[in-house]
């Protein structure tokens, strides 16, 4: 502001000199003084414009620094938020394995398996549907080719899919059967002679028989269900030795085998009883 006032005063003096010198054009000193005054006015104006521009740039730089600080703070907060989300995800992933609820959530961490029944393993009394998705117990045994993979002692059949090291699940409709075993077994289980469906023999399964549910542990464990099961989902995690069974109608937990010694490839396991004319059906993959 002082610079502008000074420039204005100098400009007025220059104009006064110019008026006084109109009658003395030949006066060299007057012309020089006028020229110097005009030059000084121009210089002052340039200085004023420069200072004004400097102040504007300083203000702009201050705003830029402020925005930069705000962005740095936002990046820091976002980083902390991502870290917190990562920690919570890790806690959730470690916790869901022990959870006994919400099978639909568990499916997010498992891969659906398109299980089909293996005719080479089916007991001669079992009848498989076209597409090998349903098993029914016939009235008489069929005349089938001999196969070392076939069950002869009990009316059992295995899934064709061999599972070795993965986290997966499949669902089975059981509502049309009055007696069944359902689970997994080792690929090399005994198929002839006396067979006991227990973990020490390579079987991890649950049973429905005479309106009662059982977990086929070393000493059978009775399971209590409020309503009759119609659809069962089996979750298998080989690396952690876990197999869990869920009621997919009310999403409730049925039973979990933990710390299982799988020791090699596994296969889905199905069994019917001679007293039951019903069938088991593997649900389609979502």
Dihedral of CA 91/93/96/98: which sign?
negative
Reported as a single tens digit per residue, the pLDDT across 6-62 is 655 655 655 565 555 555 545 566 666 666 777 777 777 787 777 777 788 878 788
Q: What is the rounded distance in angstroms from the CA atom of residue 193 to the CA atom of residue 154? A: 9
Partners of 212 in the beta sheet? Answer: 209
CB within 8 Å of 132: residues ≥ 6 apart? 116, 117, 118, 119, 160
Q: What is the pLDDT of residue 55?
A: 81
Inform me whether the pLDDT recorded for 1 exceeds 70: no
Structure-token pair, residue 267: 């296969």
Inform me whether the pLDDT recorded for 204 exceeds 90: yes
Q: What is the pLDDT of residue 114?
A: 94
What is the overall mean pLDDT for the chain? 83
Q: What is the pTM of this model?
A: 0.66
Burial of residue 205 (number of CB atoms within 10 Å: 0-12, 13-18, 19+): buried
Q: What is the dihedral of CA 96, 99, 103, 108, to 10 degrees?
A: 0
Structure-token pair, residue 50: 């420069």
Q: What is the pLDDT of residue 2?
A: 56
Reported as a single tens digit per residue, the pLDDT across 155-165 is 999 999 898 77
Q: What is the rounded distance in angstroms from the CA atom of residue 235 to the CA atom of residue 216? A: 17
Looking at per-residue confidence, does 254 or 147 come out higher? 254
Q: What is the pLDDT of residue 281?
A: 97
Looking at per-residue confidence, does 9 or 93 come out higher? 9
Q: What is the rounded distance in angstroms from the CA atom of residue 9 to the CA atom of residue 95? A: 83
Reported as a single tens digit per residue, the pLDDT across 110-154 is 999 999 999 999 999 999 999 999 999 987 778 888 888 999 989
Burial of residue 56 (number of CB atoms within 10 Å: 0-12, 13-18, 19+): exposed
Inform me whether the pLDDT recorded for 96 exceeds 60: no
Looking at per-residue confidence, does 283 or 66 come out higher? 283
* Angle, alpha carbons 177-181-182 (nearest 5°): 100
Q: What is the pLDDT of residue 25?
A: 46
Parallel, antiparallel, or unpaired: how do β-strands 134-137 and 126-128 relate?
antiparallel
Q: Give how far Cα 7 sits from Cα of 13, 39, 56, Å.
A: 10, 11, 21
Inform me whether the pLDDT recorded for 274 exceeds 90: no
CATH code reported for the domain at 103-282: 2.60.120.920
Total number of residues shown for the chain: 286
Question: Is 76 strand, coil or helix?
Answer: helix
CB within 8 Å of 45: residues ≥ 6 apart? 7
Inform me whether the pLDDT recorded for 231 exceeds 90: yes
Top-confidence range, 10-14, 64-68, 168-172: 168-172
């Amino acid at each position: 502001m002082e610079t502008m006032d000074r420039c204005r005063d100098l400009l007025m003096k220059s104009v006064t000199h110019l008026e006084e010198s109109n009658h003395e054009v030949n006066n060299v000193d007057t012309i020089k003084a006028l020229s110097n005054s005009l030059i000084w006015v121009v210089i002052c104006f340039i200085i004023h414009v420069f200072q004004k521009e400097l102040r504007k740039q300083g203000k702009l730089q201050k705003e830029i620094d402020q925005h930069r600080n705000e962005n740095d703070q936002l990046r820091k907060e976002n980083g902390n938020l991502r870290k917190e989300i990562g920690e919570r995800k890790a806690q959730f992933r470690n916790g869901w394995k022990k959870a006994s609820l919400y099978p639909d959530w568990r499916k997010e961490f498992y891969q659906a398996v398109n299980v089909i029944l293996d005719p080479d393993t089916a007991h001669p009394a079992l009848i498989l549907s076209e597409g090998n998705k349903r098993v029914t117990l016939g009235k008489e045994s069929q005349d089938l080719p001999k196969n070392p993979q076939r069950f002869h002692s009990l009316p059992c059949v295995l899934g064709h899919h061999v599972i070795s090291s993965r986290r997966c699940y499949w669902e089975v409709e059981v509502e049309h059967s009055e007696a069944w075993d359902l689970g997994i077994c080792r690929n090399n289980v005994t198929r002839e002679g006396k067979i006991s469906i227990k973990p020490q023999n390579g079987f991890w399964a649950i049973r429905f028989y005479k309106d009662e549910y059982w977990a086929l542990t070393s000493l059978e464990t009775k399971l209590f269900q409020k309503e009759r099961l119609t659809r069962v989902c089996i979750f298998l995690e080989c690396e952690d030795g876990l197999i869990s069974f869920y009621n997919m109608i009310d999403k409730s937990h049925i039973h979990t085998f933990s710390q299982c010694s799988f020791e090699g490839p596994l296969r889905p396991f199905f069994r019917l009883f001679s007293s039951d004319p019903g069938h088991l059906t593997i649900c389609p993959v979502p």
